[in-house]
Amino acid sequence: MIKEREEIAEIYKWNLEKLYSDEDKWISDTEYVDKLIEEVETYRGKVGKSVENLLGVVEAELEINRKLENIYTYSKMKLDENTSSDRYQGMVDRGQVLSVKASEACSYIVPELMALEEEKLEELIGDKKLEQYRHYLRDILRGKSHTLSEAEEMILASVGEISGSSYQLYSMMNDADLRFPEIEDENGNMVEITHGNYIPFMESGDRRVRKDAFQSLYKTYSGFKNTFATSLGSEVKKNRFYSKTRKYGSSLEHALHGDNIPVAVYENLIEAVEKNVDKMHSYISLRKKAMKLDEIHMYDLYTPMVKDIEMKIEYEEAKRMVLEGLEALGEEYLEVVKEGLDSRWIDVYESRGKRSGAYSWGTYDSEPYILLNYHDTLDNVFTLAHEMGHSVHSYYSRENQPYVYGGYSIFLAEIASTVNEVLLINHLIANTENREKKKYFLNHYLEQFRGTVYRQTMFAEFEKIIHERVEAGGALTAESLSAIYSGLNRKYYGEEIVLDPGIEVEWARIPHFYYNFYVYQYATGFSAAVYFAERIISGDVEARDLYIEFLKSGSSDYPTEILRKAGLDMTSSEPIEKALEKFGELVAEYEALIDVEEEKEA
């Protein structure tokens, strides 16, 4: 039975008082932001007149953003405690309205900067008074050559709502209108397939259930493939329109501009994974062998190769496991983890009305809070380690950087969380004598590689191909999209797997293809995490210390430069190849275990 929030002990609930000790202070901050908005208006038309004006407007805008983050985050986290609360929904709405008001008030700042002559800009930014904000301002000004006239910018802004129509069409079809048939589950019950239960069906130990779910889902998508092709084609054309209008060489270049990521990072990822695709083919063969299949199908990829092992892990035991798993990171790191575990950063248990899932969140002025809905499973232990990785990253960034650089980009975000997961799984594999448990842990790790490196890179290559086709004047149809996608599945998974009818339209159910070249970051982040973790596990103290410095860097430089300082060059293929070398070792280790079993059986 789900508990009421009042029934859960205080030690298992986050303490939001560091953010606001009472709601009167929250109200006071909303009033303060209104005054700051009035102040920022006084600089309109004067931003480039003097160093003092530029400094004043930058600090006013940053202070507005800092307070707004506190206002919104507090109200949203309180709402997440009980999603039915009208009080906190009202506070969230108030925060959103205030954010829009602030955004409108500050909208003149960047255009006024962009309008200045290059020589005048350099003179202002070079002043010692603006030293702390130099990287921040230079980053804004990187977009100068891609900024249009005021009239043209207004036209682009006015079509902003229209530009989201392709995703809206996709979302309405996929999430609202699409209905999947019922199938018979493992227990003989007729159950309707949904987006939520499809993957659990694919993880089923009953092959008939997996096959029925697969065929039913993709038969439904196939019936609407032309509509989905139209929406995805429109999305690609939209990206092409914006990249051409803003004078970028390609849609990919435009998408990577925000974090100043070289196109070579994207291309090297695809190239490195392609060079190591034989290791995925070996994994497919291993799956077929481990599962004792005559032939392996697409619907056999998600189910565990080893029978599910029941592991009931209570939260206090999970804390101990995480601390043990992260020992290689050293005492300084562990002290921060212990503080998080013992100082009510974490909202641990499910309660009535609480938001589902898990996240790490907070602001520059708060603790790096974690929301969990902890159940006594191994997956939840990994969730704790993962979210703690995000939170320690946030803690270090905020402790060591001023507010302006206290956050970090998406390109870097998943590295810290995944390092923790990799360290934990390596610890479990190395310290498990039970053969079935070792196979279970190896299966978990192998699937992370398959799902995060190979699969996301396949998605990234698909995005690149379809955008290049449109940029070359070609068209995207259901048939062409399916042919491209089918070819990629054959390349990534090899000749041994059966490409079941329907898999060619899987592109129609992937929402990330509307996120403008987003998914490659999952693969680069995981690869970087494995690269760091392997060096840390080896006992390389210098590598560990450089990793900690990376966590402290926030956004004080561009993501690839921050990683370079930590000893990792993401513009080369080395980190990807090193990670996939580890994948190959894991495949061999699992195969050795089942070879021993087969010898015993013989």
Catalytic amino acids?
387
The residues, ordered by sequence, that sit 6+ positions from 506 with a Cβ below 8 Å of its Cβ are 218, 221, 485, 489
In terms of Cα–Cα distance, which of 122, 121, 433, 498 is closest to 300? Answer: 498
User: Do the beta carbons of residue 211 and residue 186 sit within 8 Å?
Assistant: no
The count of other CB atoms within 10 Å of the CB of residue 4 is 11
Give helix 435-448 / helix 574-601 axis angle, nearest 10°.
Answer: 150
Nearest Cα to Cα of residue 199 among 182, 179, 213 = 213
**Cβ atoms 576, 563 nearer than 8 A:** no
Q: What is the CA radius of gyration of the chain?
A: 26
Name the residue among 516, 520, 486, 519 with its Cα closest to residue 503. 486
Closest CA to 388 of 431, 445, 343: 343
Nearest 5°: phi and psi at 181? Answer: -75, 175
Q: Do residues 95 and 72 lie in contact, with contact meaning Cβ atoms separated by under 8 Å?
A: yes
**359: which residues sit within 8 A by CB, 6+ positions away?**
370, 371, 387
Element (H, E) at 371: strand 369-371
Distance CA 199, CA 179 (A): 16
